[in-house]
Amino acid sequence: MAGKERYKAQQFIDAMPGSGAIVSSIAKVVGCTWHTARKYIDGYPTVREAYEAEAERILDIAENVIIGNIMASNRKQAEAMKDGPDGKPGEPIVVDSADVRWYLSMKGRERGYVKTEARENTGRDGGPMEITNVELTDDERAARVAAILDTARARRDRQVGDARLAEDTS
């Protein structure tokens, strides 16, 4: 990073443990703005590495919670299914299966646990869709493509101009 820096990269590295890789938490520990912390994370490989390590640590913790919930649900279910004093199996208990569904959708894809959606496209009031085939000459097609591109370029140029104006006023 160019110029004399107010902060040292090591300050950001030291702020990472326990931050949960939340930029505002890191900024608070260092005593800077969110944008400054983000600049150091993006600009220094060592700070970026510490940030990514903290993010991975949080993911590990989250996975441990999910796995713990699944294991606890399994133990509760097994206990409930043991034979009761009368020799009959107990009633199965209802467990929150949201963690199990989420885990299978994320980690069980190779086994077919994939969330699927059914979509049905219909026309007005559920009727059939009306499709109109428009025959265009090459010149008409080229003119339409050119008009679309011109509109996109104008939108891009307007956004660039707005961004430059915002920079000039800040």
Residue 41 lies in a domain: no
Residue 157 lies in a domain: yes
Give the count of domains, the chain.
1
Please report which confidence band the pLDDT of residue 110 belongs to, taking 50, 70 and 90 as the band edges: confident
Q: Is the pTM higher than 0.85?
A: no
User: Which region holds residue 112: left if phi is over 0, alpha if psi is between -120 and 50, else beta?
Assistant: left
Residue 12 lies in a domain: no
Residue 61 lies in a domain: no
Residue 164 lies in a domain: yes
5-16 pLDDT, tens digit per residue, is 799 999 999 999
Residue listed under structure tokens 């699927």? 116
**Domain, as residue range, for 165:** 138-170
Judged by average pLDDT, the poorest of 22-26, 34-38, 127-131 is 127-131
Residue 4 lies in a domain: no
CA separation, residue 109 to residues 60, 71, 105, 114, 154 (Å)? 20, 20, 6, 6, 43
Residue 9 lies in a domain: no
